[in-house]
Structure formats: C-alpha cells, structure tokens
Amino acid sequence: MLAASLAVLGVVVSVWRPVAPGLPASLPPQATFDAELLATIAAYRGPRLVLVPLVTVLSVAVPVAVACWPRAQAVVARWTGDRVRASWRAGAVAVGVAALTWVVSLPILVWLGVVHEGRWGFRTATPLGWLRDQVLVAGGRWLAIGLGVVVLLAARRRWPRTWPYRLTAVATLAAGVLVVVHPVLLQPLLLTTTPLPPGETRDAVEEVLAGSSAADLPVVVGDASRRTTRVNALITGLGPTEQVVLYDTLLELPAPQVAAVLAHELAHQEHADVARGTLLTATAALAGLLVLRRVLDAPSVQRRTAARGPGDPRLVLVVVAAAAVLELVGTPIGGAVSRRVEAAADHRAFELGADPAEVVRNVRTFVVRDLAAPDPAPPVRLLYGTHPSPSERIRAAVLAAERAGDDLPSLEDLVAEERTIRHPRAGAAPEGAHP
C-alpha cells in the first residue's frame, strides 16, 4: 500500500501542477537566425547527431549482448557459485558489465568531449581533467548499479512476492536522501561554489529574490569555467540544503539577463519541482520493478540462466540488461515530463519579474554563443530534449510581452547586440535573417 501510494502520488503531483499556456503557432521575428549561423550550428551538431545516438545504442546493446552470450553466463555461474547468497559477487559482476559498457563507448566519448568540444572552443578542461570528471560520474553510476543489484537479489530472495513494492519505498527514500545531500557531498566533487560577489549582478539577484517567496534562498557561483565556456544555472538540494547555483560563465552576461535566469530557477523552487521529481521516482521504480519481476520469473529466463531460486546471483546479467532496456524506454517519458516542468517554470518566471526582452536575449545567447539548435529534429527532441526548444522559449517570451504590453527589441537590434558574442565560426557580421 505504501509503494502504490507513493507511485500514485508521483503521478498526481506531476499531472496536477502549474503548467504553461499554449504557444502561438506563428514564428516571431525574434526567433529567426541568419543562414550563416544555422550552417555553423549544423556543422557543430552534425557529428553529435550520429555519435550521441550511437553511445545510446551501445549503452543497451553491450549489456544485452553480454546477457545473451553463453560464455558470459558460464563465467558468472562459476564466479557466483551455486550458493544462493552470493549477492555481493553478483554486484561485482554488475559493476563489471557497467564498466565494460563505458569502456566500449569511451573512444566516442573522448572524441565528443575532448576533440570535438576542444575544436569548437567549448572545452576548457585539460584532457586529463575531463577524464577525471568522466570517471567520477561513471564510478558513481557503477557503484549505484552494484549496490542496487545486491539489494535487489537479497530482497527478491527474502520477499519473493513483495520485493518490487518494498524496493519502491527504498528507492524513493534513497532518492530523497541523495537530493538532500547532493549540494553538500556530491556537487563539490565536480563544481566548487563560492558566494556571489558584490556588484551590479548581485544587486539584480537580490532584487529578484526580494520579490519572491524565497528571499533567503542561497545563490552561489559555481566554477564551471574550469570545464566549459557554456552558460547555465540550476537549483539543487532540498529543504535546508536547497540553493541556486549560477555558472561563473553566466556572470559574463549583463545583470538583467542573469536576473531573468534566476527568476526561472526560483520558479522551480516555488513549484517544488525537486520534491515532485523525487516523488516521481516512486512511479518509475514501481513500474520498472514490476516489469523486471515478469522478466525474471519467465520460465525461459530461468532455464537459460539455470537459476535455482528467486535470488540466484546468476540472474545478474538479465537484471543489468533489462535495466538498460527499461532506462532507454523511460527516457522519452522523462524528457516529456521535464519539458513540461521547464515550460511551466519559464511561464512563472515572467510573473516573478523576468523581463521578456531579457529572456529573449538569453535564449538567443544559447543559440548564437553555445550553438544550440533553434528547433531540434523530432527524434532528437524525443530522446534528448529536456527543455522547450529555443524557438518555443522565445515564442513564450513574446506571448508574455504581449500580455504585459511590453515592447521587445527588434530582430535588427538583437543581431547588432549579438555581434560580440556570436560563435567565432559563425562570423561577426551576419547578412539577412532566415527562420
């Protein structure tokens, strides 16, 4: 009952929540970009459109191939033995499969993260620094996979009928704990933060905070410039650890634009999006574990793995492969939820004082400076889109300006302002504008 209640609550708080209004179908002038810039974006993103999906395919193909390989099954059987209680050895096998998957994908990741990002001027970390970050992130994932397998097999052995429900409650609690401790224990491993220094930007930030319901929410600066030139911000933590992190690269933008970004993050805080996402963990966990139970209980799986009991560690390869498939299936669903959440935060940010003109400038900065695609292709949006597209966000800002009776800068003025921040390969003097 507890697991079902948590899963239902996750759906309820995700469906019945603040949402953004519908957007106009017409494309405003502020959402158009010149042909030279669009060609530059296509040149940058072209290799990524091939290699990133390839990494996604490998993340599923490798675990499935290992699970279907008779020799791998024999090795696991010898390693874990006939003892039903060899869960820790099974956890080590799961870590090994996860590490193998990462190693197979590593050449592609190196080319994308080191070579490609370096050529285009986005990477500021050294290759060794980049690799250290990748190992930290991957290592945390491997540890989580290994511990998850140990707990799953132990629970399946101890509670053959009710283990999916018990583990749903455990997963939800674990997610809540990780969210709370993230700014204190995990985030410092990759992003060192310092207080926001005095100045025009801090004054603009404090003005936005004063007009919100989170006047005491800490706003800190993360040293993202050690790794990238891209701009970003995020809200992290929960309860006493909740804070907004502004990338130090974001502070290169004018103070009004930074204030507009902060308003978006404050909207997430007001909507309790971090807490809602934590509750949604229960929904995803219960659905995934119930599917996994059907897979593990299938007679064909029992025969193929020669499993001798519900918690037999020889099932570990099937568990890892099934988890990889379930993660891939759940990605589009998670992306759709995220885009809805981000659109609602965009809408609320205007009500919290974000100037639509500054939002337009911010979104165009993502495009002209960081080479974000104005309108990603539907398959890319389906699998990897976590935010509304830049075109959609500009349309939302134009709609907010119309409702408030505010004027927006013309396309010519915006292009003139962007001459100094355009990506060098796009040139500094565009001619003409095209949708």
In whole angstroms, give the CA distance from residue 90 to residue 354: 52
In whole angstroms, give the CA distance from residue 79 to residue 75: 6
Q: What is the pLDDT of residue 386?
A: 95
In whole angstroms, give the CA distance from residue 98 to residue 171: 20
pLDDT at 84 over 70: no
DSSP 351-373: HTT--HHHHHHHHHHHHHTT---
pTM for the structure as a whole = 0.92
pLDDT at 429 over 70: no
CB 428 within 8 A of CB 419: yes
In 3D space, the residue among 207, 280, 279, 205 whose CA is nearest the CA of residue 243 turns out to be: 205
CB 258 within 8 A of CB 200: no
Strand duo 219-222 + 243-247: pairing = parallel
In whole angstroms, give the CA distance from residue 162 to residue 150: 17
Q: Does residue 212 or residue 268 have the better pLDDT?
A: 268
In whole angstroms, give the CA distance from residue 343 to residue 359: 13
Torsion of CA 323, 295, 382, 176, to 10 degrees: -50
* Alpha helices in 298-315, H assignment, sequence order: 299-305
C-beta atoms surrounding 195 within 10 Å: 10
Torsion of CA 298, 304, 309, 313, to 10 degrees: -120
pLDDT at 435 over 50: no
Q: What is the pLDDT of residue 81?
A: 65
Reported confidence tier of residue 307, pLDDT bands at 50, 70, 90: confident
pLDDT at 38 over 90: yes
pLDDT at 433 over 50: no
User: Distance of alpha carbon 367 from its chain centroid, rounded?
Assistant: 19
pLDDT at 175 over 50: yes
CB 316 within 8 A of CB 80: yes
C-beta atoms surrounding 191 within 10 Å: 20
Q: What is the pLDDT of residue 313?
A: 83
Torsion of CA 286, 287, 291, 292, to 10 degrees: -40
Task: State pLDDT tens for residues 372-401.
Answer: 999 999 999 999 999 999 999 999 999 999
HSE (side-chain half, CA atoms, 13 Å) at 208? 30
What six digits make up the tokens of 120? 């285009």
What six digits make up the tokens of 83? 């003892």
pLDDT at 182 over 90: yes
Mean of the per-residue pLDDT values for the chain? Answer: 92
CB 387 within 8 A of CB 339: yes
Residue type, 136: L
3-state secondary structure of 41: helix
What six digits make up the tokens of 239? 């309860």
Q: Does residue 304 or residue 45 have the better pLDDT?
A: 45
3-state secondary structure of 167: helix
In whole angstroms, give the CA distance from residue 192 to residue 217: 18
C-beta atoms surrounding 341 within 10 Å: 24
What six digits make up the tokens of 196? 């926001």
Q: What is the pLDDT of residue 303?
A: 81
Q: What is the pLDDT of residue 76?
A: 82
CB 282 within 8 A of CB 3: yes
pLDDT at 49 over 70: yes
Q: What is the pLDDT of residue 25?
A: 85
Q: What is the pLDDT of residue 298?
A: 87
Mean pLDDT to the nearest integer, 263-269? 95
Q: What is the pLDDT of residue 107?
A: 97
What six digits make up the tokens of 378? 């539907």
Mean pLDDT to the nearest integer, 248-273? 95
Mean pLDDT to the nearest integer, 320-342? 96
The proportion of the chain whose per-residue pLDDT surpasses 70, expressed as a percent, equals 97
C-alpha dist (Å) from residue 25 to 28, 238, 364, 395, 399? 9, 37, 19, 9, 11
C-alpha dist (Å) from residue 98 to 108, 130, 140? 16, 20, 11
In whole angstroms, give the CA distance from residue 96 to residue 90: 10
HSE (side-chain half, CA atoms, 13 Å) at 341? 23
3-state secondary structure of 380: helix
In whole angstroms, give the CA distance from residue 259 to residue 263: 6
